[in-house]
């Protein structure tokens, strides 16, 4: 049999097709041999289907190892199976790619494997519908985010990931040899996206960023995807409004979307409600009322964030952080320079977004770089753009893999990244 060019996806099979000849491509999950005929469970990227084999096709099917890739041809007929309206009566069957057993993991999920073993065999792991669903959902989330940002006149850009000097401090950068000089991997697009508002006003970038943090947590990786956006003439509370719209739109789209029968918006209120906005000061006073003593200016440790997550288990913003906790490019409040114009979006203990209004006065910015112990000379390419008529601007960075943790209901970011990179894992 030649490989047919026209195929029908499992999800498109329906009773109006009874009697039609179709071609299906997928992989073999199971065969139930009941004597004269056999029932074959096949799955393709859209879901499962049932096929019936008999005589020659049954004897061929019996010898095919599970997970091998097949193409079948046959007629659509009504099915008596409880989870399918129609099935395929197979007339031709061809094995395209044989699966050699024993396989390292069981992608049907019947035999559970550790996450480490699954990640070692990630390509096969993706045949598990619970796993592939995370990545199909991630793609829909990205599409939704792009749609919302485009509708607000943002344009999508790409800034370099190979950079020549430490962007925001430098402690967490990977460095490497770059044609006899030192190069670094970008930890964020922060400085570039700020420069771009000069000519483009509203930009966003979705890309990988790199942090050489030797962390061993469920929420940090050495490489992660960030959705960064930056806009001229907006304030940090305008950015919070956009973040809120992004989150509620994503949840709305996912609750309408039927990705097989997986429910994705785990434990998240589906209404388009506002996300609570809680000031840093209110956070520390609520924490101190339950015995976690913090002074203004103290960072919220993992333990404090866990406690705060118990008080606010869903999405909430923490805003108006102490200036001393924020990077040099964040602007402070006019009335009180100890408080910055900044916010984080949290989901319980988990930080999802950091954002703020930026300092756009070049002299003050230079002073702040100095005050944080950094060398303004390393920032000269950046600082000069602020002397060319820089508008005031605000923006944020949203950790996409962390948002997926919330949507997939997992505490381990490695579940939401195809090939996670951490201190231990560099392959595959
Ligand atoms: P954290 O305090 O959780 O380490 P951060 O404040 O250092 O995060 P930001 O520099 O504010 O992170 O980055 C913006 C967003 O990017 C974060 O809110 C988070 O969602 C995501 N992010 C940052 N670092 C990582 C990482 N190592 N792995 C995965 N996502 C990350
Ligand atoms: Mg942050």
φ, ψ at 205 (rounded to 5°): -140, 135
Give CA–CA dist 407/141, Å, rounded: 10
Whether the CB of 224 sits within 6 Å of ligand 1? yes
Q: For ligand 1, atom 22, which residue shows the shortest CA distance?
A: 399
- Regions in the chain scoring below 50 on pLDDT: 260-261, 263, 266-267, 270
Q: What predicted TM-score, i.e. pTM, was given to this entire model?
A: 0.96
Tokens linked to 222: 């050495």
Query: How many Å lie between the centroid of ligand 2 and the Cα of residue 397?
Result: 8
**Predicted pLDDT of residue 83:** 87
**Is residue 61 within 8 Å of 40, Cβ to Cβ?**
yes
**Predicted pLDDT of residue 252:** 87
**Predicted pLDDT of residue 256:** 79
Give CA–CA dist 205/364, Å, rounded: 27
**What single string gives the DSSP state of each residue in 135-151?**
HHHHHHHHHHHHHHHHH
Give CA–CA dist 123/428, Å, rounded: 10
**Predicted pLDDT of residue 260:** 44
Give CA–CA dist 395/239, Å, rounded: 6
**What single string gives the DSSP state of each residue in 100-125?**
PSSPSS-TTSSS---HHHHHHTHHHH
pLDDT in tens, 314-354: 999 999 999 999 999 999 999 999 999 999 999 999 999 99
- Mapped onto helix, strand or coil, the DSSP state of residue 6 is coil
Element (H, E) at 204: strand 202-210
**What single string gives the DSSP state of each residue in 301-345?**
-HHHHHHHHHHS-SEEEEES-BGGGS-TTBPBPSS-TTBBSEEEE
Tell which residue, 203, 193, 162, has the closest CA to residue 382.
193
The β-bridge relationship of strands 342-347 and 393-399 is unpaired
Helix axes 236-256, 400-408, angle to 10 degrees: 40
Q: For ligand 1, atom 12, which residue shows the shortest CA distance?
A: 354
Give CA–CA dist 316/240, Å, rounded: 11
Point out the ligand 1 atom lying closest to the alpha carbon of residue 402.
20
Q: For ligand 1, atom 23, which residue shows the shortest CA distance?
A: 399
Give CA–CA dist 2/368, Å, rounded: 68
Query: How many Å lie between the centroid of ligand 1 and the Cα of residue 353?
Result: 7
Whether the CB of 351 sits within 6 Å of ligand 1? yes
Q: For ligand 1, atom 11, which residue shows the shortest CA distance?
A: 354
Tell which residue, 71, 59, 3, has the closest CA to residue 31.
59
User: Which residues have CB atoms below 5 A from the ion given as ligand 2?
Assistant: 354
Q: For ligand 1, atom 3, which residue shows the shortest CA distance?
A: 351
């Amino acid at each position: 049999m030649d490989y047919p060019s026209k195929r029908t996806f499992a999800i498109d099979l329906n009773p109006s097709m009874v009697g039609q000849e179709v071609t299906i491509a997928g992989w073999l999950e199971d065969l139930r041999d009941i004597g004269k005929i056999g029932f074959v469970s096949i799955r393709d990227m859209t879901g499962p289907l049932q096929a019936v084999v008999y005589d020659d096709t049954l004897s061929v099917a019996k010898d095919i190892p599970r997970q091998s890739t097949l193409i079948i041809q046959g007629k659509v007929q009504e099915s008596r199976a409880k989870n399918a309206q129609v099935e395929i009566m197979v007339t031709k069957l061809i094995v395209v790619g044989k699966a050699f057993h024993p396989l390292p993991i069981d992608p049907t999920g019947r035999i559970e494997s550790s996450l480490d073993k699954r990640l070692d065999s990630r390509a096969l792991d993706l045949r598990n519908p619970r796993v592939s669903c995370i990545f199909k959902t991630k793609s829909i989330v990205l599409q939704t985010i792009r749609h919302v940002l485009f509708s607000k006149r943002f344009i999508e850009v790409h800034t370099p990931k190979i950079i020549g000097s430490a962007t925001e401090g430098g402690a967490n950068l990977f460095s490497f040899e770059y044609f006899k000089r030192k190069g670094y991997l970008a930890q964020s697009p922060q400085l570039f996206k700020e420069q771009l508002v000069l000519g483009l006003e509203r930009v966003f970038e979705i890309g990988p960023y790199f942090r050489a943090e030797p962390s061993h947590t469920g929420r940090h990786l050495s490489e992660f995807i960030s959705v960064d956006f930056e806009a001229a003439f907006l304030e940090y509370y305008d950015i919070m409004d956009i973040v809120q719209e992004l989150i509620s739109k994503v949840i709305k789209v996912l609750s309408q979307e039927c990705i097989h029968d997986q429910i994705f918006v785990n434990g998240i209120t589906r209404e388009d409600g506002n996300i609570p906005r809680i000031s840093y000061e209110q956070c520390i006073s609520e924490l101190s009322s339950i015995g976690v003593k913090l002074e203004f200016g103290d960072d919220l440790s993992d333990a404090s964030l866990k406690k705060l997550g118990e008080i606010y288990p869903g999405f909430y913003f923490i805003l108006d952080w102490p200036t001393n906790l924020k990077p040099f490019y964040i602007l402070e409040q006019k009335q009180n320079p100890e408080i910055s114009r900044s916010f984080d979006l949290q989901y319980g203990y988990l930080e999802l977004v950091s954002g703020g209004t930026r300092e756009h006065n070049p002299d003050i910015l230079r002073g702040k770089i100095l005050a944080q112990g950094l060398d303004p000379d390393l920032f000269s390419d950046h600082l000069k753009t602020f002397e060319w008529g820089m508008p005031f601007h605000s923006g944020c960075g949203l950790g996409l893999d962390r948002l997926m943790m919330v949507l997939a209901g997992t505490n381990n970011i490695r579940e939401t990244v195809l090939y996670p990179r951490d201190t231990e894992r560099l392959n595959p």
